[in-house]
Amino acid sequence: MGIEEQLTTVLAKAVIEADKAESVKELETIRVSYLGKKGEITSVLKGVKDVAPEQRPVIGKKANEVRDELTTLLSHKKERLEKEALERQLEKETIDVTLPGKQVSKGQTHVLTQIMEEIEDLFLGMGYQIIEGNEVESDHYNFERVNLPQNHPARDMQDTFYITPDVLLRTHTSPIQARTLESHDFSKGPLKMISPGKVYRRDTDDATHSHQFHQIEGMVIAENITMADLKGTLELLAKKMFGEDREIRLRPSYFPFTEPSVEVDVSCFKCGGTGCNVCKGTGWIEILGAGMTHPNVLEMSGVDSTKYSGFAFGLGPDRIAMLKYGVDDIRNFYLNDQRFLKQFKRKG
């Protein structure tokens, strides 16, 4: 067989093989087996040196044509295979945007935060400032400056976690009274503030006690503030938290930082005052402690108690939430169980 015929035959064989190839890798093997150093076409071309010199240009031309044709054919086929592979991959990876998405569960404001924000709103509307205190507090501010000196018996009721003998986790939000009193500039107007936050006591946790809970402190100091102002303010608070037709009742009590001191009861929101299980048959529910600020507290903070007077109150959002929603165990607020918390979805 002449070289020209050989070339034609080899080309025809290569074309058939290339046509059958299904991957770029197969195609490359075919290319090497025909056009590579030891490839079939290459070895045919090696025979050119044995043909008569006058025939060489003709055969050389033919050989170049065959090589070019095969090269072009292979590269076109390669392009096509690559395109097909890409299309297959794209198809496999298509995202169906019409499929339903994964449900991301959304939380909601914690019920205690809701209560605190409601109370903040009420007092902001009456021109009070909201002041944040420190949870880690000194014995000085937590006790001494609110009229509870060392060895005062009332300290027993508020045992806490000590960091050093002088530094502790605050047992109530009352230290903020002294902190704001000493920094308030009375020439600029009265002091009206509330201070919500966490407090700590060394209690054994049970259904109604938690070693960490919340309080909201309130204080108003100015000239001519009387107990009538305290009563009016608390009445408004009770109505806001428990409904418009609530009434309040003040009972004498004792706190070292107020004189006189009172416990404040609200008429039962469930039975309206006739007696039920929520108010334990009394018609009244105790909601907070309050009183007229003790002159010692004012004087220790450098405020003239002959000129200024006022009131303070402290309430527990945990207890308010328990009463309002009939929650019988305070620990529910701190377990982070969504099944419990989801029930208090704020509307709007």
Binding residues for Mg(2+): 259
Taking the least distance from each CB to ligand PHE, the nearer of 62 and 249 is 249
Q: 118 vs 36, 240, 311, CA distance in Å?
A: 84, 9, 21
Using the rule CB under 6 A, is 256 a contact of ligand PHE? no
Taking every pair of Cα atoms in the chain, the longest distance, rounded to a whole number of angstroms, is 133
Euclidean distance between CA atoms 143 and 133, whole angstroms: 15
Euclidean distance between CA atoms 28 and 18, whole angstroms: 10
Taking CB under 6 A as the binding criterion, the range among 64-72, 117-125, 268-276, 309-317 that sits at the site for ligand PHE is 309-317
Taking the least distance from each CB to ligand PHE, the nearer of 31 and 192 is 192
Could you tell me the smallest distance in angstroms from the CB atom of residue 275 to ligand PHE? 27
Using the rule CB under 6 A, is 196 a contact of ligand PHE? no
Please answer whether residues 262 and 291 qualify as being in contact, where contact means their C-beta atoms are separated by less than 8 angstroms: yes
Annotated binding-site ranges = 259
Closest residue to ligand PHE using C-beta atoms: 314
Could you tell me the smallest distance in angstroms from the CB atom of residue 203 to ligand PHE? 12
Out of 197, 291, 310, 317, name the contact with ligand PHE by CB under 6 A: 291
Out of 289, 322, 327, 341, name the contact with ligand PHE by CB under 6 A: 289
Out of 128, 242, 313, 344, name the contact with ligand PHE by CB under 6 A: 313
Euclidean distance between CA atoms 220 and 229, whole angstroms: 9
Residue holding tokens 């058939």? 16
Q: Please measure the distance between the N-terminal and C-terminal CA atoms of the chain and give it in whole angstroms.
A: 93
Residue 158 phi, psi dihedral angles, 5° rounding: -125, 60
Euclidean distance between CA atoms 315 and 289, whole angstroms: 7
Q: 220 vs 33, 188, 318, CA distance in Å?
A: 97, 14, 23
Strand 248-255 relative to strand 258-267, pairing: antiparallel
Out of 133, 197, 314, 317, name the contact with ligand PHE by CB under 6 A: 314
Out of 160, 174, 210, 233, name the contact with ligand PHE by CB under 6 A: 174
Cross-strand partners of 76: none
Quick note: the x/- pattern for ligand PHE over 73-112, rule CB under 6 A, is ----------------------------------------
Taking the least distance from each CB to ligand PHE, the nearer of 169 and 290 is 290
Taking CB under 6 A as the binding criterion, the range among 25-33, 102-110, 286-294, 297-305 that sits at the site for ligand PHE is 286-294
Taking CB under 6 A as the binding criterion, the range among 10-18, 185-193, 288-296, 297-305 that sits at the site for ligand PHE is 288-296
Count of helices and strands (H, E) across the chain: 11, 10
Using the rule CB under 6 A, is 290 a contact of ligand PHE? yes
Using the rule CB under 6 A, is 133 a contact of ligand PHE? no
Taking the least distance from each CB to ligand PHE, the nearer of 123 and 344 is 123
Using the rule CB under 6 A, is 147 a contact of ligand PHE? no
The candidate with the shortest Cα–Cα distance to 289, out of 247, 328, 319, is 319
Taking the least distance from each CB to ligand PHE, the nearer of 176 and 327 is 176
Strand 162-164 relative to strand 248-255, pairing: unpaired
Taking the least distance from each CB to ligand PHE, the nearer of 254 and 325 is 254
- 165 Cα distance to chain centroid: 35
Using the rule CB under 6 A, is 242 a contact of ligand PHE? no
The candidate with the shortest Cα–Cα distance to 174, out of 195, 156, 201, is 195
- Orientation of helix 3-20 relative to helix 24-35, angle to 10°: 170
Out of 34, 128, 141, 255, name the contact with ligand PHE by CB under 6 A: 255
Out of 180, 195, 210, 258, name the contact with ligand PHE by CB under 6 A: 258
Q: 282 vs 234, 268, 274, 278, CA distance in Å?
A: 20, 8, 7, 9
Contact residues toward ligand PHE (CB under 6 A) are 172, 174, 217, 255, 258, 289-291, 312-314
